Amino acid sequence: MAKIEENDIFTQVVRFDVTADKQLVLIEAIAAEVERWVRYRPGFVSSTFHASLDGKAVLNYAQWESEDDFEGFTQDSETARLRKAVTDVDPSLNPHAMQCRVVRSIDRAS
């Protein structure tokens, strides 16, 4: 049986379905807020953005030291500005969020 290499990092993956002309605009809007204030929140680890090659999706992979740290972020009054940044790009965007825990990570061979 394989050993599970779990850790306590809390991960939220959010998928946005977008039109190709809005893909990079959305990434820049969210990244600007992450750089402005999210990155200074207690427990923030990282935020990584993925742009689908067809231009129709954005994935944001954000990690926090704990679920409590993430919950603190969601309660911050600045979160409303982050939501507004998303809706300013396209009011019809409907993000699909999923919370995860890391159970295994495989690095490149040396």
Query: pLDDT-based confidence at 106, cuts 50/70/90?
Result: confident
pLDDT at position 27 is 98
pLDDT at position 4 is 54
| Percentage, residues of the chain above pLDDT 70 | 95
Q: Give per-residue pLDDT as tens, 23-43.
A: 999 999 999 999 999 999 999
Q: Are 87 and 35 in contact, with CB atoms under 8 Å apart?
A: no
Q: Are 86 and 26 in contact, with CB atoms under 8 Å apart?
A: yes
pLDDT at position 7 over 60: yes
- How many beta carbons lie within 10 A of that of residue 3, not counting itself? 6
Q: Which residue has the higher pLDDT, 77 or 108?
A: 77
| All domains of the chain in start order, with CATH | 11-101 (3.30.70.100)
Sign of the torsion formed by the C-alpha atoms of 38, 41, 44 and 46: positive
Averaged pLDDT, 66-76:
95
What SS3 state is found at 49?
A: strand
pTM here is: 0.88
